[in-house]
Structure 1
Amino acid sequence: MREKRPIIIDTDPGIDDAVALAFALFSEELEVKLITTVAGNVSCPQVTENTLKLLTFFDKEVLVAKGANQPLVQPQIDASEIHGDSGLAGFEWKEYNRQLLTEVPAAIAIHQAIQQSSEPVTLLALAPLTNIALWLRLFEEDKEKIAELVIMGGATGRGNSGNFSEFNFHADPEAAEIVLNSQLPITLLPLEIGNKARLTSETIKQVKKAGKTGKMLSQLFEHYRGGDIVTGLSMYDSTTLVYLLAPHLVETTPCQMAIELAGQVTRGASSVTFIEESSCQLVTDIQVEEFQQWFLQQVSQCG
């Protein structure tokens, strides 16, 4: 049997984060070593609580480390208008396991998990990149033990948080710049891929029938404003799992991505240059119908 790929997930649940966490935690190919939380969709204390709720619901024991409460420079913004004030609106959560939460800050916990791993680690970033930037500043020597950094972030056209900026990068553009300049092997799944990877109303009906996880997700979807039940819901964060688990469903191309920091209107915008060789690659397309089928298969495997 092939060894599982060790992975650390940095997240801010968030309804689409909940989907991505489910797929990663139940994957037979991935071993989630650590989950770190960061202010993003809602506050860091709330997304930390949400992560513990999800782990308890899934009956999974993974160490959780709380990260940055604020971006590196600017005031915090959130996406509570998309995910609800709690971040996971629409489901009645039961008591959760607080014992999974460590007092070690996220950046240090990432370092410890990387150093303890016998294999190179994949980092999966589903949130503003504050924790990843802080880790890089503190522990640059860890980079040689990173297999890949997979990021849901950036946009090649219009944005969803500001005219030209995607939310995760807009929430902490300085952190995004630090991470993108790190020379790590990076794969970016931008806003456009999440917008293509929409769940149709028919697929959402099928999700509801797929065990307790499907029922839970379908209740969250009723309160999710990343699209709507009729026109389809954008599954931004779960596209990272498509890349990791079903890479034949996506197309990639080498690129460089720069982040605008100075512009008053364009702050947080990402500018992409396509080049022949780079340590960074951009996912440029996804097979939508196959994604729908893959999505249902993944939900059914989550119990």
Structure 2
Amino acid sequence: MASKQRLLIDFSGDSDQAIGLLYALQSPKVQVSGIIVSDAEPDRGIQLARRLVDQVRPGEEIPVMAGTQQPLFRGEADRAADSVMTSEAVTFLTELVPDPDNPLTLVTLGRLTTVAKAIARKPEWLQVVQRIVVRGGAIRVPGDVTAIAEANLHADPEAAAFVLAAKGPLLFVPLDATESLGLTDEQAALLAKTVRGTTATGKAGTVKSVLGAMIAAVAPEQIETERLKLSIDCHSLLSRGALIADLRAKPSAGTDADVCMAIQSEAIETWVRQLTEGEDRA
């Protein structure tokens, strides 16, 4: 029997991103090895994650922990408060042990602050993970928070730039690859209700990018990738947080990284229909 894909998932704790966690927990191909909640109020996300684990994988002991509460550059009070909450997730990452027979994939559905702090503490921990799937960026399409920036990278561009500069095994899943996935706002709301347990408003664009990142992690044979030279802007008011690719015939600016450019959508769209049709009848 083929071994399951080991996933470590870092999400913000909101219901839209928790849909990705639900997808991973329901997948027979996946072993969720840990869940990190990187949010200003991690308790709500931790409770949500534990409830989903209890519902979908009852009896399994899956570590659920708080990540960073704030982006890298905040006031002194914010940094002091964050240092306590960060230690658990950062320590967990930096103490991971290599297992060549069971490779580990880290999926980041929110900002990259926790990952950046782990790299800063112990750069060699990157050798433990086979792949880091980053939900973030917009290259040839508009951004979703500014004209050219996507929300996750814009939320902490310094952390994202630091992670990119570390030259780990990154796979970016930008809006370019996920906007064509078939999902309506109504379906997104039903999915959000499924994970939250109460009426919730789901955003189709957000849910599509979350599920696209999960597909890239769980079923890499269903995506098309391109190796690009990338940079993340941390300075300009106009382009802060933008994922910039050198698309010239002979690119020279930026750091090499893999980018998901297309996703086969049939399997994920079938999963969405089955889940939302059942919820709609409930």
Category of TM-score, reference length = shorter chain: 0.7 to 0.9
1:124 match: secondary structure: strand
| Counterpart selection for 1:216 from 175, 181, 194 | 194
- 2:255 is the counterpart of 1:292: no
CA shift in 2, pair 1:145/1:248, >3 Å: closer
- Deviation of 1:129 after TM superposition, in Å, equals 0.3
* Length-normalised TM-score, structure 2: 0.79
> C-alpha separation between the residues in 2 aligned to 1:263 and 1:5?
39
* Cα deviations by residue, 1:252-303 (Å, 9 ceiling, x for unpaired): 1111221111111221111013579985211112234554125446889xxx
- Deviation of 1:250 after TM superposition, in Å, equals 2.3
| Counterpart selection for 1:48 from 37, 46, 50 | 46
Q: Give, as a single letter, the amino acid of the residue that structure 2 aligns with 1:55.
A: V
Which residue pairs with 1:97 in the alignment?
none
* Cα deviations by residue, 1:12-46 (Å, 9 ceiling, x for unpaired): 1322322211121222222211111102xx63333
> C-alpha separation between the residues in 2 aligned to 1:14 and 1:49?
11
Greater shift after overlay, 260-269 or 249-258?
249-258
The runs of at least 4 consecutive aligned structure 1 residues that moved more than 6 Å come to 218-221, 275-278, 297-300
Which residue pairs with 2:170 in the alignment?
186
- 2:261 is the counterpart of 1:261: no
CA shift in 2, pair 1:295/1:247, >3 Å: farther
| Counterpart selection for 2:217 from 235, 244, 248 | 244
Q: Is contact 1:126–1:237 with CA below 8 Å preserved after alignment?
A: yes
CA shift in 2, pair 1:217/1:142, >3 Å: closer
Greater shift after overlay, 167-176 or 235-244?
235-244
- 2:37 is the counterpart of 1:37: yes
Structure 1, unmatched stretches of 5+, are 76-101, 228-232
Q: Is contact 1:8–1:110 with CA below 8 Å preserved after alignment?
A: no
- 2:44 is the counterpart of 1:67: no
> C-alpha separation between the residues in 2 aligned to 1:299 and 1:104?
38
> C-alpha separation between the residues in 2 aligned to 1:32 and 1:243?
15
Q: Is contact 2:19–2:207 with CA below 8 Å preserved after alignment?
A: no
* Cα deviations by residue, 1:90-135 (Å, 9 ceiling, x for unpaired): xxxxxxxxxxxx99611111222x2274643211111100000001
Q: Give, as a single letter, the amino acid of the residue that structure 2 aligns with 1:266.
A: S
Which residue pairs with 2:24 in the alignment?
24
> C-alpha separation between the residues in 2 aligned to 1:276 and 1:221?
48
- Deviation of 1:64 after TM superposition, in Å, equals 0.9
CA shift in 2, pair 1:16/1:151, >3 Å: same
What are the within-5 Å matches in structure 2 for residues 97-116 of structure 1? 105-112=88-95, 114-115=96-97
Which residue pairs with 2:259 in the alignment?
282
> C-alpha separation between the residues in 2 aligned to 1:215 and 1:269?
31
- 2:118 is the counterpart of 1:135: yes
Q: Give, as a single letter, the amino acid of the residue that structure 2 aligns with 1:259.
A: I
Q: Counting helix residues as a fraction of each chain, which structure ranks higher?
A: 2
CA shift in 2, pair 1:249/1:272, >3 Å: same
Aligned length: 260
CA RMSD of aligned residues (A): 3.3
> C-alpha separation between the residues in 2 aligned to 1:152 and 1:241?
9
Q: Is contact 1:19–1:217 with CA below 8 Å preserved after alignment?
A: yes
* Cα deviations by residue, 1:68-90 (Å, 9 ceiling, x for unpaired): 11100157xxxxxxxxxxxxxxx
Greater shift after overlay, 154-163 or 166-175?
154-163
Structure 2, unmatched stretches of 5+, are 76-84, 278-282
> C-alpha separation between the residues in 1 aligned to 2:112 and 2:7?
16
Identity of aligned residues (%): 25
